[in-house]
Amino acid sequence: MALKGSTAIIGVHDTRVGKVPEKSATALCVEAVLGALADAGLRLADVDGLVTCNSMAQPHMYHAEMVAEYLGLKPRYCATAAAGGGATFTVLYQAALAIEAGICDTVVIAMADSLRSGLSREAAMVMQSSSGHAQFETPYGATVPGYYALIAQAYLHAYDARPEHFAAVAVSGRQHACLNPAAEMRKPITIEDVLASRLIADPLRLLDCSLVSDGGAAVVLTRADRAAHAPHSPVYLLGAGEGRGHEHISQAASLTQSAARLSGERAYAMAGLSPADVDLAQVYDCFTPVVLIEMEDLGLCGVGEAGDFFLRGDGAPGGRLPINTHGGLLSHTHPGNPGSMFALTESVRQLRGGLGERQVADANVALVHAQGGILSSHCTVLLGTEATL
Amino acid sequence: MSDKPLPPVDAESRAYWEACNTGRLLLQRCAACASVQFYPRVLCAQCGAVSPEPVDASGHGIIRTFTIIRRAVSAAFDADVPYVVALIELAEGPTMMSNIIDSPLEAVAIGAPVQLTFERRSDAINIPQFRLVP
Ligand SMILES: [Zn+2]
């Protein structure tokens, strides 16, 4: 099967993000679908596949079917991602396979949630308490930042790294967000600001942690031969790969290297590309140390060198390899499960071009990577312009 | 007794939690490949052989990594803040999560030796915990 170049993203849409109390999670998802279709120059009748993710604020057992019913769609291909992070790109990969296999022609992948406005404090606590192994982890009272802090501490120890290395990731992301009118956090920050923010779970501080938001985004994925008629330049799926290690962090074989190595290798192999070919990357940044580990595992930095990469400004706007060009989960937006979608829509916009001062020069290949669980489940996707086919 | 979460004991973990009640930490050893694992499973996760045998842990280990929680996960942990969550590498090989209790916070470090203890959380549940070896 030659998945490389056989499907393309022809439509993207982001809803307003941040605090959006006037819209329910379902309404945000619907808005994302309609916006992405308008961007693709298509109508609802052109859609025969729908993929969503479940919402924490308005959960449904059959979420994608619920959204399809709301829209009056009867899709041939319909799937709900149960989680966020890497699962977002996994369902994109699977949608591409469904198109390649002839099951459907045009799939809308739309994800939205109202974590900020639609979730009670109690529900948020329950959500947090339910991460981790109910018998062998949860009784010890770790928080989600706490689980990631275990990785952070191990990283500092393994590479003789400093909290400044984590802070540099937050600063770099904020620099990008300052160029993104849609980003929630647009006030510049310094390393000192990050290090002065309050400790949440040592060594992680408030500004090492991603946002909690409302919002959603969607993409339209279609067969490459249908993409030629779209109003915007198609952005082709060049490669995808998945990798998994553990589920619970206490079962991780390594705390400083992850299955991003596997997902990256598989995606590069499918695309026939190497890390040197990547012009920009969106690397899942739920917490700053995660970015360092992923950069190294994806071959975008040497092992133990990602902190210096960010301290040098190599990932910042105009840097050697711009990372999280929309501001990421740290500074753009993080509505929970749909968070990775904004990395996808941003990558498509970068490869289309014309983003003004935020535009990465000569962008032809974008890498998007996300993980879920606690550094558990990884998916890497490589996207490219027509020139890369 | 506290409002802290109790493990939802199931058929496969009953023997483990019953051993905890008598102050023993059970691991499992595979008869086929000799690997030792935590948590209890119906098979060896290394080779797939069924029914790994329960073995007592020595209770010795080192801190593989840790964090100090400054914002509690729930009200039940508020009084403990700041508290340590750690991954303990047991002398037998496997890693398990634990708190580091009854120990000076500033002495908690990666590589520090720790010793098994227990925290009585309910009549039925005795939670394995670790403290620094003085
Ligand atoms: Zn075995």
Residues with Cβ within 8 Å of residue A127, at least 6 apart in sequence: A56, A119
Nearest CA in chain B to A134: B7
Structure confidence by residue, pLDDT tens digits, A246-286: 999 999 999 999 999 999 999 999 999 999 999 999 999 99
How near does any CA of chain B get to the CA of A199, in Å? 7
Going by pLDDT thresholds of 50, 70 and 90, the confidence category of residue A125 is confident
Nearest CA in chain A to B6: A139
- Which DSSP string do the residues of A206-232 spell out, in sequence order? GGGB----EEEEEEEEEEHHHHTTSSS
The pLDDT of residue A1 is above 90: no
Q: Give alpha helix (H) positions in B8-62.
A: 14-21
Give pLDDT, residue A122.
Answer: 75
Decide if B73 and A133 are in contact by the 8 Å CB cutoff. Answer: no
Residue whose C-alpha is closest to residue A97's, from A237, A209, A234: A237
Please name the member of A134, A141, A202 whose beta carbon is closest to the beta carbon of B8: A134
Percent of chain A with pLDDT over 70: 100
Helix (H) or strand (E) holding A199: strand A199-201
Residue whose C-alpha is closest to residue B13's, from B130, B128, B132: B128
CA of A250 to the centre of ligand 1 (A): 19
Give pLDDT, residue A172.
Answer: 98
The pLDDT of residue A385 is above 60: yes
CA of A254 to the centre of ligand 1 (A): 20
- A157 contact B CB<8A: yes
β-pair partners for A285 = none
- A187 contact B CB<8A: no
Query: What is the distance between the alpha carbons of residues B75 and A106, in angstroms, rounded to a whole number?
Result: 48
Token couple for A28: 């945000």
∠A14-A20-A26 over CA atoms, to 5°? 70
Query: What is the distance between the alpha carbons of residues A227 and A46, in angstroms, rounded to a whole number?
Result: 13
Token couple for A348: 């498509």
Query: What is the distance between the alpha carbons of residues B132 and B134, in angstroms, rounded to a whole number?
Result: 6
∠B93-A306-A179 over CA atoms, to 5°? 135
Please name the member of B5, B66, B97 whose beta carbon is closest to the beta carbon of A250: B97
Residue stretches of chain B with pLDDT short of 50: none
The C-alpha R_g of chain B, in whole angstroms, comes to 15
- Specify the residue for token string 């939205």: A112
First to last CA, chain B: 28
Compute φ and ψ for A354, nearest 5 degrees: 80, 30
- Domain boundary assignment for chain A: 7-118+211-388
The answer to whether the bond into B39 is cis (omega within 30° of 0) is: yes
Structure confidence by residue, pLDDT tens digits, A89-121: 999 999 999 999 999 999 999 999 999 999 877
∠A95-A222-A99 over CA atoms, to 5°? 45
Give pLDDT, residue A131.
Answer: 82
Token couple for A382: 């490589």
Give pLDDT, residue B1.
Answer: 55
Give the orientation angle of helix A288-297 with respect to helix A163-177, to 10 degrees. Answer: 90
Compute φ and ψ for A339, nearest 5 degrees: -50, -45
Classify strands A77-81 and A49-53 as parallel, antiparallel or unpaired. Answer: parallel
Helix (H) or strand (E) holding A192: helix A191-196
CB contacts < 8 Å between A and B, how many?
107
Give pLDDT, residue A381.
Answer: 98
What residue type is assigned to position A125 of the chain?
A: M
Query: What is the distance between the alpha carbons of residues A34 and A6, in angstroms, rounded to a whole number?
Result: 24
Give pLDDT, residue A54.
Answer: 94
β-pair partners for B61 = B90, B114
Residue whose C-alpha is closest to residue A39's, from A113, A114, A110: A110
Mutate to test the interface with B, among A159, A250, A255, A287 (most CBs of B within 10 A): A250
Mean pLDDT, residues A226-246 taken together: 96
- Domain boundary assignment for chain B: 14-132
- A141 contact B CB<8A: yes
Q: What is the Cβ-side half-sphere exposure of residue A357, based on CA atoms within 13 angstroms? A: 8
Sign of CA pseudo-dihedral A298, A302, A304, A305: negative
Token couple for B83: 């508290």
Residues with Cβ within 8 Å of residue A117, at least 6 apart in sequence: A19, A20, A21, A57, A214
- A6 contact B CB<8A: no
The domain A7-118+211-388: what is its CATH number? 3.40.47.10
- A143 contact B CB<8A: yes
Mean pLDDT, residues A24-33 taken together: 98
Q: What is the Cβ-side half-sphere exposure of residue A41, based on CA atoms within 13 angstroms? A: 10
- Which DSSP string do the residues of A246-293 spell out, in sequence order? -SSGGG-S-SS--THHHHHHHHHHHHT--GGG-SEEEE--SBHHHHHH
Compute φ and ψ for B105, nearest 5 degrees: -55, -40
Decide if B4 and A139 are in contact by the 8 Å CB cutoff. Answer: yes
3-state secondary structure of A314: coil
Decide if B4 and A251 are in contact by the 8 Å CB cutoff. Answer: no
- Which DSSP string do the residues of A365-384 spell out, in sequence order? EEEEEEEETTTTEEEEEEEE
Decide if B85 and A140 are in contact by the 8 Å CB cutoff. Answer: yes
The pLDDT of residue A153 is above 80: yes
Question: pTM of the entire structure?
Answer: 0.97
Query: What is the distance between the alpha carbons of residues A322 and A281, in angstroms, rounded to a whole number?
Result: 7
3-state secondary structure of A181: coil
Mean pLDDT, residues A287-300 taken together: 98
Token couple for A330: 């740290």
